[in-house]
Structure 1
Amino acid sequence: MTRILIYLLALSTIMPTKALGQNIKIATVDLEYVYANLPSYKKLMTEIDSSSSRYQSVQKEKLVVYQQKLQAYQKLGKQTPEPVLKDKTTELESLQASMQEFQANADTDLRTKYASKFPEIEKTVRAAIAECAKELHVTYVARNYADYNAGESAPLVLYSSDIQTDLTDHILRKLGVANHTEKGKVRKNGIIK
């Protein structure tokens, strides 16, 4: 019984030591930069910006009409009958509600458009990250900027002095983006050092 206990104790000491001797390679990727240089993402953002501009144009037109009617209402004298004032007030409230509803619908449409197309782009980028990591024998890949949408307040940065551990250029190459402005330059938190 004591032999088994000693054997298990020795085995438990050797196993962690062996794990410590493994070659674990950690790399980083600037996802924001990858997306900014990816043609499919650029196209999506152009579509979103174009739709947003059209919605803003319509909203400005609605605002001009509202302001004109508001000025006309404010010019009405005290001698204006109560039913006319009430009708004009109702008309202004209706225009204001229409503008708010339009803005809410526009925001929803933009979010829906983004949400319907971005997952496929993200899937492609993640596949390229996994492929690069396998080719370069990288165990872990980390983002090197904060994802504020996910509630992070500080970037997930791991120290890396070796340009080989930044997979950003490799991933862009995998995604078919051969030339970009900061190719081969060392990045820190998404910014060129």
Structure 2
Amino acid sequence: DIKGKGFFRMVYFIPYIAPFVGTAAVFRIIFSSRPNALLNSTIGFLNVDPLLWLSEPRGLFQLLLGDTIQLPIWAAGPSLALVVIMIYGVWTFIGFNTVVFLAGLGNIPKPLYEAASIDGGGRWAQFRNITLPLLSPTIYFLTLYSVIGTFKAFNHLYVLRNAAALGTTDTASIVIFEAFKRDTRYGYASALAILLLLIILVLTFVNNRIASKRVFYG
């Protein structure tokens, strides 16, 4: 048992239960493009020039290489603005995933590890033959949950998106919302929503087919 396990579970889970709009607004302040913003001021101590962060439409690889080498759009990587939003998503959902993984690990019977140790099984053998198979239902659930959640993500994207990013942060849900609300193209937006639903159903079906062969339910 890990000492303070309950405390760490609470700390990790707070970002997930906190209002997405509020935490996204805080991220927007931290990753502001202003030179005197919190993160730009911090990297300024390292003699790094201020970055545009959520207002940066250029790809991450293009930024790393500089202007001396011009990469094609498909090779430039995700925009820095999208990377910031991805960081927010990881920070938000890592607590939920951690708690679920801990619950899955807690359900694995300890006598299995003791028997494996007696038989001479090392840590890697125990992980490969005990932990991973018995944790596969949890991994399957989190994978499916993450895929569906990624496609339907909206709240934090809408708060963090910036017009200066030139649409590089717009996902399917944002495109559907803008087509419905801003452009009043109700039929087009409905068609996009149905198409998104079909894509999610196909991915879920593929995930289930893979899981039927690899997930071990004991």
TM-score (ref. length: structure 1): 0.31
Task: Give the helix-richer structure, 1 or 2.
Answer: 2
Task: Give the strand-richer structure, 1 or 2.
Answer: 1
**Over alpha carbons, which structure has the higher Rg?**
1
TM-score (ref. length: structure 2): 0.28
Question: Greater RCO between the two (CA within 8 Å, min separation 6)?
Answer: 1
